[in-house]
Amino acid sequence: MTDLRNKSVDELVALVQSLEKELASEKSKNQMSRPKIAVMTSEVVDSNPYSRLMALKRMGIVEEYEKIRTYSVVVVGVGGVGSVTAEMLTRCGIGKLVLFDYDKVELANMNRLFFQPHQAGLSKVEAASNTLSLINPDVEIECHNYDITSVVNFEGFMNTLKTGGLNGGAVDIVLSCVDNYEARVAVNTACNELNIEWFESGVAENAVSGHIQLLIPGETACFVCAPPLMVASGIDEKSIKKEGVCAASLPTTMGIVAGFLVQNTLKKLLKFGDVTPYLGYIALKDFFPTMTLKPNPTCDDPFCRQRQKEFQARPPKEVQKQVEEVPIVHEDNDWGISLVDETPVEELVEDKNTLLKSQWDRQPSAAPGPSGDSEISTETVSGTDGIEDLMKRLKTLNQS
Amino acid sequence: MTDLRNKSVDELVALVQSLEKELASEKSKNQMSRPKIAVMTSEVVDSNPYSRLMALKRMGIVEEYEKIRTYSVVVVGVGGVGSVTAEMLTRCGIGKLVLFDYDKVELANMNRLFFQPHQAGLSKVEAASNTLSLINPDVEIECHNYDITSVVNFEGFMNTLKTGGLNGGAVDIVLSCVDNYEARVAVNTACNELNIEWFESGVAENAVSGHIQLLIPGETACFVCAPPLMVASGIDEKSIKKEGVCAASLPTTMGIVAGFLVQNTLKKLLKFGDVTPYLGYIALKDFFPTMTLKPNPTCDDPFCRQRQKEFQARPPKEVQKQVEEVPIVHEDNDWGISLVDETPVEELVEDKNTLLKSQWDRQPSAAPGPSGDSEISTETVSGTDGIEDLMKRLKTLNQS
Nearest to A342 among B111, B355, B370 (CB): B370
Q: Is B115 on the interface with A (CB under 8 A)?
A: no
β-strand pairing of A209-215 with A278-282: antiparallel
Nearest to A23 among B19, B61, B262 (CB): B19
Per-residue confidence at A140, pLDDT binned at 50, 70, 90?
A: very high
Mean residue pLDDT of chain A comes to 80
Residue A130: its chain B contacts at CB < 8 A? none
Name the DSSP letter for residue B374: P
pLDDT tens for each residue of A42-61: 999 999 999 999 999 999 99
Nearest by Cα to B110 from A136, A323, A318: A136
Hey, are the CB atoms on A276 and B286 less than 8 Å from each other? yes
pLDDT score of A218 more than 50: yes
Nearest to A55 among B34, B106, B246 (CB): B246
Smallest CA–CA separation between A215 and chain B, in Å? Answer: 14
For residue B227, what pLDDT is reported? 60
pLDDT score of A327 more than 90: no
Residue environment code for A369-383, b if the CB has 16+ CB neighbours within 10 A, otherwise e: eeeeebebbeebeee
Residue B45: its chain A contacts at CB < 8 A? 108
For residue B315, what pLDDT is reported? 85
Find, in chain A, the residue whose alpha carbon is nearest to that of B3.
A13
Query: What mean pLDDT comes out for the span A335-354?
Result: 32
d(CA A274, CA B365): 10
The active-site residue out of A92, A177, A246, A299 is A246
Hey, are the CB atoms on A117 and B108 less than 8 Å from each other? no
d(CA A255, CA B257): 10
Per DSSP, the three-state class of A290 is strand
Nearest by Cα to B278 from B299, B300, B294, B255: B294
pLDDT score of A396 more than 80: no
Residue A252: its chain B contacts at CB < 8 A? 88, 92, 259-260, 262-263, 266
pLDDT score of A232 more than 70: no
Q: What are phi and psi of A109, to 5 degrees?
A: -90, -5
Q: Is A52 on the interface with B (CB under 8 A)?
A: yes
- CB proximity list for A282: less than 8 A, separation 6 or greater: A208, A209, A288, A289, A394, A397, A398
Hey, are the CB atoms on B107 and A34 less than 8 Å from each other? yes
Hey, are the CB atoms on B263 and A247 less than 8 Å from each other? no
Q: Is A138 on the interface with B (CB under 8 A)?
A: no
ipTM of the complex in this document:
0.79
Verify whether residue B143 is a known catalytic residue: no
Hey, are the CB atoms on B117 and A342 less than 8 Å from each other? no
Find, in chain B, the residue whose alpha carbon is nearest to that of A55.
B248
Question: Between A and B, how many CB-CB pairs are < 8 A?
Answer: 367
Neighbour-count burial of B321, counting CB atoms closer than 10 A to its CB (0-12 exposed, 13-18 middle, 19+ buried): middle
**What are the pLDDT tens digits along chain B (400 aa)?**
558 888 899 999 999 999 999 888 877 766 678 999 999 999 999 999 999 999 999 999 999 999 999 999 999 999 999 999 999 999 999 999 999 999 999 999 999 999 999 999 999 999 999 999 999 999 999 999 999 999 999 999 999 999 999 999 999 999 999 999 999 999 999 999 999 999 999 999 999 999 999 999 999 999 999 764 554 454 544 444 444 568 999 999 999 999 999 999 999 999 999 999 999 999 999 999 999 889 999 999 999 999 999 999 988 765 545 444 443 333 333 343 333 333 332 332 233 323 332 222 222 222 223 322 222 222 222 222 334 444 554 454 444 3
Residue environment code for A50-78, b if the CB has 16+ CB neighbours within 10 A, otherwise e: bbbbbbbebbebbeebbebbebbbbbbbb
Q: Where are the alpha helices (DSSP H) in B32-123?
A: 51-58, 82-92
Find, in chain A, the residue whose alpha carbon is nearest to that of B24.
A23
Q: Which of A19-23, A31-35, A379-383, B278-282 has the highest mean pLDDT?
A: B278-282
Query: What mean pLDDT comes out for the span A244-260?
Result: 92
Q: What are phi and psi of A75, to 5 degrees?
A: -115, 115
Q: Is B381 on the interface with A (CB under 8 A)?
A: no
β-strand pairing of A278-282 with A292-293: unpaired
Percent of chain A at pLDDT exceeding 70: 73
Which amino acid would we find at residue A209?
A: S
Among the residue ranges A73-77, A172-176, A339-343, the one predicted with the least confidence is A339-343
Q: Is A371 on the interface with B (CB under 8 A)?
A: no
Residue A290: its chain B contacts at CB < 8 A? 286, 358-359, 362
Hey, are the CB atoms on B12 and A9 less than 8 Å from each other? yes
Query: CA dihedral defined by A150, A154, A160, A161, rounded to 10 degrees?
Result: 130
Q: Is A314 on the interface with B (CB under 8 A)?
A: no
